[in-house]
Each structure stands twice: as C-alpha cells, then as structure tokens.
Amino acid sequence: MMSGITGELWHRINEKRGEYLQLLKSLLSFPSVSATGEGMEEAAGRVAEVLEKVGLRSDIFTDHGGYPIVWGELREERHGTLLIYNHYDVQPPDPLEKWTSPPFQPTIRNERVYARGACDNKGNLAARLCAIDLLLDTIGEVPLNIKFLIEGEEEIGSPHLSKFFQNHREILSADACLWEMGGASPDGRPHIYLGAKGILYLELHASEKRPDLHSSWGAIVRNPAFELVHLLSSMRDRSGRVLIEGFYDDVQMPDSETVALLEELSGFESEVRAIVGDEGLLSNKSAKELLFDLTLMPCINICGIQSGYTGHGSKTVLPSSAFAKIDIRLVPGMRPERVLELVKRHVERVSGGRVSVVPLDMGYPAARTHPSEPFVQLIARTAESAYGMKPIIYPSSAGSGPMYLVTELLQMPCVAAGIGDHQSNVHAPDESISIENYLKGILHVALTIVNFVPFMRGGVTPYL
C-alpha cells in the first residue's frame, strides 16, 4: 500500500490512466522506422507536438546530418538539471504476418499495450512525459530544470549523434542523465542499469573470381564458404572466449564495488535457463560468472551467414562467394577503431587475404557509471518506492547504446531505468508493455524529479 506523496501521486496517476494511455497511443500510432526512413520526418514533428502539449518548449535540430533530433526543455531556474535521453525511431515491424494486431495500431489485450515501439522506446518516452504532466497537474510546477534529448537513429547505431553533441554541447549541460531503457523482472522487481556496452558491426566477405560451379569440383577447388567458416571458428572458442590476438589487452577490469553488484542478482540463472533451456548455455559456469561475462566482458557474435543455395530441396553447387555479419560488444577501455585493426590482422593471418573485412558500423565505446554515484542511489530509492520492491541493479546492460557521449564527453553520471518486462518482445512481433509497469514508470520518474535536488545536494529524499 503506497502512502505519503508516493500514494498521492499514484492515486492521481490512476485517475488520469485513460489520458496517459491516450498519450502513449498517440506516439505509437505512426511509423518511425529509421532503417528504411519510413515516417521519420513526420514523426519528429509529432513528437515535438506531444512535448509542447505537456508543457515543454520544443525544437527540432537537423544540422548534425541525420534524422531530426527533437529537443525539449523546461527551464524552472532551479538548482538542478536532469537530462533525459530517449529515441523515437523503432525497428522494422517485419515479419508482419506474425503480429496479432497491426504494429502501428496500438491495441490493448490482457492489460498490455501492443505496438511497435511500445517498449523500445516510445513507451518509455511517454512515461517520462506523463511524469512532467503529473507534477504540473498535482503541485503546479516541476522542481527541476528538465532537458529532453530524443533522437531518431538509435536503432541504426546513432551514427550522427556525436556530431549533435559537438554542435550543441552548450545546451547539454546537466547534473545527471536518465537513459532510455529498463524494465522489471517476472516477479516485478525494477531493473536499473549503470552502463551500456559499446559495439562494432562488421561483414566478412570471401569470394572467388569465377561463377558458381557444380559441387563435384569441391574435391579440388577452393570453396569460399569453407574459407569463411574456418575463419569464424578461429575467432572464438566453444566457451565464448575470443581468440583474436590482443583482443583483451585494453579491457578495463571493473572494481570490487561494481563486481559486488552481481552478488545481489539472485534468480538470474533460472531466468536465463527459462529463455535458452538447460542445454543452451556456452558453459557450466556459476550464475555469478555468467553475469560477469554478460555484463562486464566483451564478446563476439555471428549475426548471420549466407552462401550458396539455401532454398527448399537440394542443389549441388560450389558457391563463388560467402559472407557473414558479426557484431562485437565492447567494455570500458576498448575502442572500436583499435578492435577493428585487431580483427583485420587476425583475418589476414588466418585467411591469407582471401577474406575481406567491411565495417558497417563503427559504433561507439562502452559506458559505465560507478555504483557509488549519488544519482544511482536516488534512482534506486525512488524505484523501490514506486514499485514497492527493492530494485535489481546491473553494472551494465548487455546491449549497446551511445551512452558514452554522456559519461565520457559530458562527464555526467548516467543511469537507465524503464518500463519493459520479460514479455515485451523488444525488436520482435507483438512488442508490448504492461499497463501497470507503464503507470509505475510514470510514478518512478515523477519521484525522481521531486527528490532530485534535495538528494543530489543533501542526500535526502523527503518526498516519498
């Protein structure tokens, strides 16, 4: 049972439930697919309209060279400023036939909202905007300066965001940043992430200057598919350890306080096994070791391989080309350009020059905020009050994002928290969020805002 200010805000959220669901639906009802460009220009304008509707001043920036960035600001002349990062672009909805309802027609079923972007990331954006409306509605003000940075290229690697930071660094100053994503465990405990891995995305190409041949020639003719498979098998062992020479040289190992967070993450192993099954893990490591690898160590992954005939039935062919897509997740200390050079050397040595490296996305370095930062403690305290359960704090997300621009360039603590859960189907058909998590997400952000200045300056949370 919620009491005090938390209870008052929760009561008002439920009174305004219909209004807040309508705001969410308004953001979900239009496409904004950065991979194809569908709806992007119109989407930026519609997001700006929603910002204005809840009381923020909005601007749209296009001078960075990519899809528009929507900027929102509420300047209250307070002694504290919070930067909030979100993105309005979404993944392609394909395959359409696997959606129960159309991806851009938000639909409520079983107390969940289904649509592309429901969790990633328009639902999180909507919750944060509703938190602003909630505070203006209940107390008549927002006791904090608020800045919203809402980009349109996160789903394609944020290739132009660094240019925006270079062009407009003067408007980005703040005391801390609330990042775009997060969720809750199956038992309802909120998840908080203190970082994100970096990423490097590549293609490996093997080809011969000849057409495809009858497969009988495989007895004496070089096969690019075998060349590629041999190379790929040389890059990682069966336990997942990367075998590229020098790959781990620059890894900045986490300190004891960061590693200690893993001790609190009970139940992780059962959650993982529920997803991948008893035989799906790379090793028989303990739950703590698995968590260490997932959140604090780099890895390499094959995203796709293509060569020869892959249709129905048989076709005896010796292909003339093969390629694979791989991504490499980075941790603090590693730089994408340095890792790319290590990969190129490895490919040259193993393949003898018969496989080429094609960088598709140079990505970005990793980011991590130390658990001792006051902003981390604030997000944890307000999450516990909003959800009624102690949060689970991860030292880093296993996924990637351009968070390093905040932690490294702006030298600002950055923490991720949001409204997803294990049923959200992020990047998949029938993406969704639970309405309860959405409403609790509004409460969490509102509590963070009203307690921000007293906690960051005096270490107290008087409004819980």
**Long-range contact set of residues 93-102: C-beta below 8 Å, sequence gap at least 24:** 93/31, 93/33, 93/429, 95/429, 96/429, 98/429, 98/430, 99/429, 99/430, 100/429, 100/430
Write down which residue in 334, 364, 394 finishes a domain. Answer: 364
- Rounded distance between C-alpha atoms, residue 238 and residue 71, angstroms: 46
Q: Are residues 113 and 143 in the same domain?
A: yes
Predicted local distance difference test score (pLDDT) of residue 267: 67
Neighbours of 43 (CB within 10 A): 25
Show which of 305, 329, 364 is a domain's final residue.
Answer: 364
* Cβ atoms of residues 309 and 315 within 8 Å: yes
In a domain, 415, yes or no: yes
Do 359 and 306 sit in the same domain of this protein? yes
SS3 89: coil
| Residue 95, preceding peptide bond in cis (omega within 30° of 0) | yes
CATH code assigned at 335: 3.30.70.360
Q: Are residues 39 and 170 in the same domain?
A: yes
Residue type at 412 in one-letter notation: M
The pairing of strands 183-184 and 190-193 is antiparallel
pLDDT of residue 281: 82
In a domain, 306, yes or no: yes
- For residue range 125-140, list pLDDT tens digits in order: 999 999 999 999 999 9
Task: Decide if 257 is inside a domain.
Answer: no
Assigned domain for 233 exists? yes
**Residue 362, pLDDT score:** 86
Task: Tell whether the torsion through CA atoms of 211, 212, 218 and 223 is positive or negative.
Answer: positive
The verdict on residue 282 lying in a domain is no
Q: Could you tell me the residue range of the domain that residue 184 belongs to?
A: 4-194+369-458
Residue 185 falls within a domain, yes or no?
yes
Question: For the chain, what is the domain count?
Answer: 2
Tell whether 188 and 213 lie within a shared domain: no
| Res 263: pLDDT | 84
Please say whether the beta carbons of 211 and 447 come within 8 A. Answer: no
Examine residue 98 and state whether it is found in any structural domain, yes or no.
Answer: yes
Last residue within a domain, chosen from 313, 347, 364: 364
Specify the pLDDT at position 23: 98
pTM: 0.92
CATH code (residue 421): 3.40.630.10
Does residue 266 lie in a domain region? Answer: no
Beta-ladder partners of 162: none
Task: For residues 374 and 337, state if they share a domain.
Answer: no
* Residues in the chain with pLDDT values less than 70: 1, 266-267, 269-271, 273-276, 278
Whether the CB-CB separation of 200 and 359 falls below 8 Å is answered with: yes
**Residues 385 and 447: beta-carbon distance below 8 Å:** yes
What's the pLDDT at 269? Answer: 67
pLDDT at 282: 84
